[in-house]
Amino acid sequence: MAATRGSSRRVFELFVSQIHWTLATKELRDYFAQFGTVRKCTLPFDKETGFHKGFCWIGFSSEEGLRNALQKESHILDGIKLQVQQQKRRSFRSQYTNEGETDMS
Amino acid sequence: MDYNCCLANRSLINKLPGQKTAPRMISHILCSLTAITGFCFLFSTHLIYQARLFAIAPHQKGKVQEEPVLSVQNKQAQHFDWALNKLDSSVRRTGRITRTLLLRIFHDMCRTGYPSSNQALLLLRSCGSLLPEVPLCERTELAHMIWGKLQDLGAVYDASHYNALLKVYLQNEHKFSPTEFLSKMEEANVQPNRVTYQRLIAAYCNEGDIEGASKILGFMKMKELPITEAVFSSLVTGHARTGDMENAENIFSVMRDAGIEPGPDTYLALLNAYAEKGDINSVKQILEKIEKMEGYLMDRDLLQVIYSLAKAGYPQYVPDILSQMRYERGYIPDAMNLSLNLITQGLEDTAFQVFKSFPTLPSENHSETSMDYGNFFLQHCVHMDKPLSKLKQFCDELKEANMHSSPLQFTLYCALESKKAALAINLMKTMKEEGLPLRPHYSWPLLVGYQKEKNVQGTIGVLKAMHELGVEPDVETYTNYVLTNFDDIQTFRALLQVSLNEQFFIYCYVMAQFCSCSLCRILIESISVILVECFLLFFSTEAVGYFLYNLIDSMSDSEVQAKEEHLRQYFHQLKKMNVVIPTNIYRGIRNLLAAYHVPELIKNTEVSALEEELEKLKAEKQPIGNVLKQLIVALCAEENMQKALEVKAKYEPDMVVGGYAALINLCCRHDNVEDAMNLKEEVFRKDSSVALDTNKYLALVKVLGKHGRLEDAINILKEIKEKDIPIKDTTVTSFFHILNAAAMRGEVETVNRLHESILTLGLAKPSTNLCTPLITVHLEKDDVPSALEATIDCYKKYGKMPRLHDILCRLIEQGNTELLQKAMDFVSQERGEMMMLYDIFFAFLNTGKYKEAKKIIETPGLRARPGSLQWFAEKCIATNQMETLENMVEMTQKLFECDRDEMYYYLLKLCKISNDWRKAEATWTKMQEENVIPRARTLRLLADTLKNNGQEVPFDVPEVIYVNALYMPLQCNVTSQLFFFILIVEAYNILLEAQKKDIMFPASAYSTLIKALLAEGCLEEALKVKNIAETHIKGFTLNDAASSLLIITQVRRDYLKDAISTLKKVLESDMVPMSLAVIRLIQALAMKGDLESICTVEKMVENLATSIGLSRMLFVNNTVLAHIKKPATDLFLQYVDAGRVDDARFLLQVIIYQERNSSTLLDLVPDFPDMKIVYSYLLKCHALDNDVVSAKTLFEKMKSENIHTDEIFLKRLAVLLKNAGEPVPFTEPPESFHFYVNKLTQERQEISSHAE
C-alpha cells in the first residue's frame, strides 16, 4: 500500500524517460544515488517482450536529492542521455505500482 | 550547351541554402520555347512505363474515402483503404513492407470473409520487390498462397491480377512457363492484354529465350497491340543474356526505326546487361552518353545496376556506380531496400557498402539514441541468421566509423527481440570479451518466450548460459520470468480494450469525414436532392438556397420537368421544416423554373387582391400603410417596376420604409439608377436614421458602379460602414461580383477604387477571390504586363497572388520570356521554388508545351503536392481538357509521393464525363502497366463508363456503397431528429423504387436502412426492407447492430416472442447482440412475470454475458422482479437449496427493498444459513424507512438470539438512533460508515481470493 504510506511521508519523485534497454533498475538506482538517497525506483517492464518500457520513476527520500538531480544539466548513463524531469502528479504513477516495482523503503 | 548541364544538375535537394538554381534553369527552359532543342527522352510519353516500386497509390491525408464503416461488407472497403494506407506508409517510411505486416493484412482480409478484387491485387502486388527482407522463392510462395486462399474465399481475378502475378514473378526472378501461364489464363477465361504480353516477353528474355519472346511478339502483332518501349527493353536484356551484346545494342536502332526513341528503361536494360558481364567500362560509357543527351537516370535505376553487379559477382565496381548518385528524395528508402535485398540474397558485404553511402544517415530510433545509424542493417542481418563473425565485423566497422555508439548492444537487442537464443548468448559472450557489462535483465526477453511456451528446458538453458557468463539471475528474474505463469484474462482484457478504441477511432473518423465537404461532393454524384438536408444539417438555410439554385441550374429542362413532382414535394418539405429561402435566391430559382416552363412550381402572390383591398381601405379611410407595403412587395416580386413606381407615387404619404426598400431594390435590379437614388434620398428625408439592409445597399453599389457613378458608390460603401450594416459571407461574395462586373467592363479605376474602399473601410478582409478582379480587369484588356504588375502589387499589399496561372499562360503564349522570368523570380522568391515549379509546370501544360512541362516536373527533388495536382486536374476536368490531363498524369509518373490512383481517377472522371470508354479502357491498361492498385471508387468509375457504353466490364466491380454515405448522419448524433427522419423516409422510398427496377444495393445498405428505420420506431417498414433484402440477397442477415435495434423495437412494441426469436437468430448466426437489447428484453419479460422466458434468454446468452458486459445481476434482479410480479416468492428458497448464496443474498436485498415487509421475509427464510445477513439487510431497510422502533426491536432480537453484530451494523444503528435523538446503548464504532464498508469489502475479497 504504497499510496497510503506515501501520504504520511512525502516522496520526491523524478520521471525519467528515454532509458536505453540495456539499463535496469539497479543501474538507475546506482546512478541517481549520487544525488541523494533513492527510496524507490520503479521501472515498468513489458511482460510480453521482456523489455522495459523506457521510462521510470525515481523517488528520493529528501527534497535535496531531487533538487540535486534536477540541477544537473544532462544525465548520461552508459553514454546515452536520459530525459529527466520532476514528476508532477503522483496519480499517474500508481497504475504502474505492480509492475516491476522494487520498493525498498 | 550550358543549358544541358544546367538541366542535368538541377536538383532541389542538392542545393545549398540560399543558392538559387531555379531562375537560371527557368531561363533555359524559356529559351527552349523559341528554339526547341532535341531532347532525347522526350518522345511520345505514351511509351514510357517503368515498373515502379512506389506505384502503390499513396493515401492522401485529409481526403475523403467514400466508404464509411457501418457493416461487415463495408468494412471491406474501409479495410482496403486501411490496408493500402498501412502498406503505403510502410513503403514510404522504410522503402519496404514487412512479411509480418503483409500477412497480418492478409489474415485480416481472410477474416472479414469477402476479399474484394482490389484487395487481392494489393496483396499480390506486394509480394515482389517490396519484400526485400524475404528470400525470392519465399516471396513467390507467398504470392501463390495468397492467390489460392483469396480465390477460395471468392476473390475474382481479372487481367490485372494475372499481370500483377507476372510482375511478381519477374521481380522475384521466378522461373515459370509463359505458355502454361497463358493457358491458365485461358482456362480462367481471362483475356491477356498488352501488359500481359509485355511481361511474358520479359520473362522469356530474362531466360535469354529470344525465340519464345518472338512468339509472344507475334501474338501482339496479330492483335495489333502497340509495341512499346518495355518490349524493346526486354529484348535488349534477352539478347544480352544469350551473350549477344551486338544484337542487344542493335535493338536501339530497331526502336528508332519503329519511331520510338529509347528512354531510360531501355538504357537501363543495356546498363544491367553490361553490369552482368562485369564490363564496367561500357557501363560508364553509357552513363556518360546518357548525361550528354540531357537525359538522366534516377538513383533508383542506378541502384538496379548495383544489384546486377553484385549478383553477377562484381562487387568491386559498386563504388563506381555509388559515386554517380544524386541522392534524390526517396534515395534512402530505395537504397535501404536494395541493401536489405542484398542481405537477403547473401550479399551483405555489398549491402554494407550501399548502406555506408547514405548521404544523411537516418536515425531510426530517436528515442533511444540520436546518433546511431545502421540499425536496420544489423537487424536484418540478425533476422537472416548471418554468422556471429560477420555481425561482429559490421559492428566494429560501424563503431570505428562513429556511425553507431553501441552496435553490439543493438545487435543483441535484435537477437533477443527475435528470440534467437543461441545468437544472443554468443553475442553476450562477445560483449563480455569486449568488456561490455552484462546484466540479468538481458535474459528476460528470452525467458518471456519460454515462459509462454512453458518450455522448461529453454528456461533452464538460458539460466545456465547466463550463469556461465557470470550473470546470476536476480529476484525479479525468478519471480517474474521463471516461476510464474501468465494470466490469460489480462491478455483478453487488453484485446477488448483495443477493439473499443478502434470503435472510437472509427466514430471519430466518420464524424471527421462527414464534416468535410468532400463527402458532399460524393453525395452530389449520387443523389443530389438529399444533399439539401445534409447542407441544412451542417450549414445555414442560405446554403440550402444556393444549393437549390445551383442544383436546379445544373439540371436540364427535361430533368427539371421530370423531377417536378420531386421538387414540389421537396419545397413542401422545406416549408414544413420552416426553411425560409432568402428572397433573392427565391427569385433566382423562380426565374430558372420559369425558364424551364415549370413556373407553377412557385405560386404567384396575388397583386390584384391586394389592390382591391387597398382601394377598399382607402375608401373606408382606414390606414393603408401595411397593405400598401404588401402591394409594393408583391409588385416587386412580379418585377413590375412601372406599376410599383406608379403605386408609390399615388400613395406617397403612406409609404413605409419596407416599401421603399423593396422599391429601391427593384429599381436597382432594373438598372434604374436615377429612381433608386431618388427613392433612397426620399426615404432618408423622411427618416435619416433609416438603414437599408445589406443586399439593398449592395444593389445600389452595383448599379452606381455600372453607371459610372463611382463617388456615389463609394459613399454608399461608407454608409454601410457608418450604419454598421451587418456583413455576411454572401456580402463579400457580392462585393466580388460587383468588382468582377466592373472588371469585365474593363474599368480599371472603378475596380481599384471600389476594392480599396471595401478594404480600407474594413467591410471585407483581403482574399484571393476579392483581389481577382484587380487582375481580371487587365487580362480582359489583354494587358498582361499590367496584370502581372497588379498581381505582384496584390501580393505585396495583401499576400495574395490571384490569377497567376492565367498570367503565366498568357506570357507563355505570347512568348514573353522576359516577363515570364520576372514572374517566376517573383513567385520563387515569395512562395518558394517548389511552388514556382508547379506554377510553371501547370502553365506549360495548359499551353500545350509538354516538353517543357516534362522537364520541370522531372526536377530532382520535386515532390507531389496533392492539392496543386488536384486543382489542376479538376480544372482540366471542368474545361474538358483531356490531352492536357493525360499529359499531366503521365508526366507525374515518377514524381515522388504521387498518388497514382488519384491521378488515374481524375483521368477516368473526365473519360466518364466525355463518355470515352476507349480512353477509359486504355487508362486501365496503363494502370496495370504502372502497377497501380485502383481504389474501389476508381474501379467503379471505370465500370460505369464501360457499362454506359455497352461494354463488358473485365473485372469484378466493387459494391456500390454510396447509400451508406447517405446514412452517415444517422451515425452522427448531431442535430435535429427531423432531418434524420426525412433522410430515412427518402432512403426508404429510393429503396422501394430501386427494387421495382430491380436495382440492388449492397447488403450493408439494407442493414443500415433497417437500422435507421428501427431507430425511428418504424418496425413495419424495417421488416419490409428486411424481407426485400432477404429475398434478393442470398444469405442476407442483419448485422449485429441492426438486429439489436430490431429486438429493442420489438420489445417496445411488446412483441416479446418475436424479440426472443430475433435474438435466437442473432445468436445462431454467431453475431453479438448489443447488451442494451438483451437488457430491454429481460426487463420487459420481468414486467410480464415471464420467468420461463427470462430463463430461456439467460441460457441463450450464457456464453456471451461477460463479453458484452451483461451483469449476472441483470438476470437475478429481473427474475426477482418477475417473481414479484407473480405471487410466488419461492425463488429465494430455490437459491438457498441450490447453494447459490450470492444470488440468494442479492435476492434477499431486492425483496426487502421491494416489499419492506420483514415479517413475511422472516417467515420466508426461517432456515437461512446465515441469519446475520438477513438481519443486516433488515436493519438497512429500517434505516431507509427511518423506522427506529423496528430497528431497536431487531437489535434486541439479535441480542436474544446471540447473533454477532458487526461494525457496519452497529454504526448504522448508532447513526439511526442519533438522528432520531435517541441514546446509543453501545459503543459506537469510531470510524466513518464508509470505512467499515470498505473494510468489509476487502475482507470479502481476501476470502474469495484465498478460496480461489
pLDDT tens sequence across B48-76: 222 232 233 333 333 333 333 344 455 55
- Which of the residue ranges B151-165, B620-634, B864-878, B1031-1045 would you say has the lowest mean pLDDT? B1031-1045
The percent of residues above 90 in pLDDT, for chain B, comes to 27
What is the number of CB-based contacts under 8 A between chain A and chain B? 59
* Sign of the four-CA dihedral B342, B345, B346, B347: negative
Task: Report the pLDDT value the prediction gives residue B491, as an integer from 0 to 100.
Answer: 35
Question: In the structure, what pLDDT confidence band is assigned to residue A1 with cuts at 50, 70 and 90?
Answer: very low
Question: In the structure, what pLDDT confidence band is assigned to residue B544 with cuts at 50, 70 and 90?
Answer: low
Q: Which of A18, A19, A20 to mutate to test the interface with B (most CBs of B within 10 A)?
A: A20
- Indicate if the pLDDT at residue A48 is higher than 50: yes
Answer with the residue of higher pLDDT: B24 or B761.
B761
Q: Shortest CA distance to B255 belongs to which of B267, B245, B243, B241?
A: B267
Task: Report the pLDDT value the prediction gives residue B1037, as an integer from 0 to 100.
Answer: 73
Rounded mean pLDDT of B1174-1202? 76
Q: Which residues of B touch A23 (CB under 8 A)?
A: 439
Give the CA distances from residue B208 to residues B128, B202, B204, B267, in Å, rounded to whole numbers and listed in that order.
21, 10, 6, 18
The three cell numbers of residue B1154 are 421491494
Q: Shortest CA distance to B692 belongs to which of B718, B649, B723, B652?
A: B723
Rounded mean pLDDT of B926-947? 85
- Indicate if the pLDDT at residue B983 is higher than 60: no
CA–CA distance, B1207 with B135 (Å, rounded to integer) = 72
How big is the CA angle at B456 (ends B455 and B458), to the nearest 5 degrees? 70
Rounded mean pLDDT of B847-857? 90
CA–CA distance, B208 with B203 (Å, rounded to integer) = 9
Residues B1011, B1045: contact at Cβ < 8 Å?
A: yes
Kindly report the nearest CA distance between residue A34 and chain B, in angstroms: 20
Residue B956 DSSP label: P
Question: In the structure, what pLDDT confidence band is assigned to residue B465 with cuts at 50, 70 and 90?
Answer: confident
Number of H helices, E strands in chain A: 4, 6
pLDDT tens sequence across B690-745: 888 888 888 899 889 888 899 999 999 998 888 888 887 778 888 888 898 889 88
Contact check, Cβ <8 Å, B448/A22: no
Give the CA distances from residue B290 to residues B248, B265, B309, B317, B858, in Å, rounded to whole numbers and listed in that order.
17, 12, 19, 19, 15
Rounded mean pLDDT of B1053-1071? 83
- Which of the residue ranges B87-101, B565-579, B833-847 would you say has the lowest mean pLDDT? B565-579
Answer with the residue of higher pLDDT: B96 or B774.
B774
CA–CA distance, B431 with B399 (Å, rounded to integer) = 14
Task: Report the pLDDT value the prediction gives residue B1129, as an integer from 0 to 100.
Answer: 47
Q: Shortest CA distance to B709 belongs to which of B685, B674, B669, B744?
A: B674
Rounded mean pLDDT of B1117-1126? 65
- Indicate if the pLDDT at residue B1171 is higher than 70: no
Contact check, Cβ <8 Å, A50/B445: yes
Kindly report the nearest CA distance between residue B432 and chain A, in angstroms: 14
Residue B54 DSSP label: T
ipTM reported for the complex, 2 dp: 0.82
Beta bridge partners of B1006: none
CB atoms within 10 A of CB B568: 14
Q: Shortest CA distance to B267 belongs to which of B243, B239, B248?
A: B248
Chain A contacts in chain B segment 207-236 (CB below 8 A): none
B19 has a chain A CB within 8 A of its CB: no
Sequence letter at residue B785? P
- Indicate if the pLDDT at residue B855 is higher than 90: no
CA–CA distance, B300 with B332 (Å, rounded to integer) = 10
Q: Shortest CA distance to B1093 belongs to which of B1065, B1061, B1066?
A: B1061
Residues B893, B930: contact at Cβ < 8 Å?
A: yes
Rounded mean pLDDT of B211-217? 94
Rounded mean pLDDT of B1078-1088? 82
Q: Which residues of B touch A52 (CB under 8 A)?
A: 441
Residues B1114, B1146: contact at Cβ < 8 Å?
A: no
**Candidate from A24, A47, A81 with C-beta closest to B441:** A24
Answer with the residue of higher pLDDT: B1205 or B709.
B709
Q: Which of B441, B474, B488, B497 to mutate to test the interface with A (most CBs of A within 10 A)?
A: B441
Contact check, Cβ <8 Å, A20/B368: yes
pLDDT tens sequence across B592-630: 666 555 544 444 445 777 787 888 888 888 888 878 887
Chain B contacts in chain A segment 9-68 (CB below 8 A): 18, 20-27, 45, 47-52, 54
Residues B1203, B1175: contact at Cβ < 8 Å?
A: yes
Task: Report the pLDDT value the prediction gives residue A6, as an integer from 0 to 100.
Answer: 41
Contacts of B1232 (CB under 8 A, 6+ apart): none
Task: Report the pLDDT value the prediction gives residue B965, as an integer from 0 to 100.
Answer: 33
CA atoms within 13 Å, Cβ hemisphere of B80:
29
Phi-psi region of B981 (alpha: psi -120 to 50; beta: other; left: phi over 0): alpha
The three cell numbers of residue B418 are 527475435
Contacts of B860 (CB under 8 A, 6+ apart): B10, B11, B12, B13, B14, B296, B326, B328, B329
CA–CA distance, B819 with B753 (Å, rounded to integer) = 26
Q: From A79, which residue of chain B is nearest by alpha-carbon distance?
A: B405
Contact check, Cβ <8 Å, B442/A22: yes
CA–CA distance, B873 with B879 (Å, rounded to integer) = 10
Q: Shortest CA distance to B785 belongs to which of B823, B751, B747?
A: B823
B486 has a chain A CB within 8 A of its CB: yes
Q: What is the pTM of this model?
A: 0.53
CA–CA distance, B61 with B1248 (Å, rounded to integer) = 52
Task: Report the pLDDT value the prediction gives residue B655, as an integer from 0 to 100.
Answer: 84
The three cell numbers of residue B886 are 493525360
CA–CA distance, B408 with B414 (Å, rounded to integer) = 10
Contact check, Cβ <8 Å, A49/B417: yes
- Which of the residue ranges B196-205, B553-562, B753-762 would you say has the lowest mean pLDDT? B553-562
**Candidate from A24, A50, A52 with C-beta closest to B448:** A50
Contact check, Cβ <8 Å, B444/A54: no
Q: Shortest CA distance to B985 belongs to which of B1019, B1021, B949?
A: B1021
- Indicate if the pLDDT at residue B1114 is higher than 90: no
Answer with the residue of higher pLDDT: B476 or B634.
B634
pLDDT tens sequence across B1001-1053: 666 667 777 777 776 667 777 788 788 777 777 777 777 777 887 888 888 77
Counting other chains too, the contacts that B514-517 makes at CB distance below 8 Å and 24 or more residues apart are B514/B68, B514/B538, B514/B968, B514/B969, B514/B972, B516/B62, B516/B64
Contact check, Cβ <8 Å, A51/B444: yes
Give the CA distances from residue B904 to residues B48, B706, B923, in Å, rounded to whole numbers and listed in that order.
16, 45, 7
Q: From A47, which residue of chain B is nearest by alpha-carbon distance?
A: B448
Task: Report the pLDDT value the prediction gives residue B536, as an integer from 0 to 100.
Answer: 44
Residues B494, B486: contact at Cβ < 8 Å?
A: no
Question: In the structure, what pLDDT confidence band is assigned to residue B213 with cuts at 50, 70 and 90?
Answer: very high
Average pLDDT, chain B: 76
SS3 A101: strand
**Candidate from B406, B409, B444 with C-beta closest to A50:** B444
Task: Report the pLDDT value the prediction gives residue B1030, as an integer from 0 to 100.
Answer: 78
B49 has a chain A CB within 8 A of its CB: no
Question: In the structure, what pLDDT confidence band is assigned to residue B579 with cuts at 50, 70 and 90?
Answer: low
pLDDT tens sequence across B649-702: 888 888 888 888 888 888 988 888 898 899 888 888 888 888 888 888 888 998
Kindly report the nearest CA distance between residue B450 and chain A, in angstroms: 11
CA–CA distance, B152 with B684 (Å, rounded to integer) = 83
Q: Shortest CA distance to B982 belongs to which of B578, B503, B533?
A: B533
Contact check, Cβ <8 Å, B368/A27: no
Give the CA distances from residue B467 to residues A51, B436, B439, B478, B613, in Å, rounded to whole numbers and listed in that order.
20, 16, 11, 14, 111
Contacts of A39 (CB under 8 A, 6+ apart): A11, A59, A60, A61, A104, A105
Answer with the residue of higher pLDDT: B995 or B559.
B995
Residues B321, B302: contact at Cβ < 8 Å?
A: yes
The three cell numbers of residue B881 are 481538357
Q: From B445, which residue of chain A is nearest by alpha-carbon distance?
A: A50
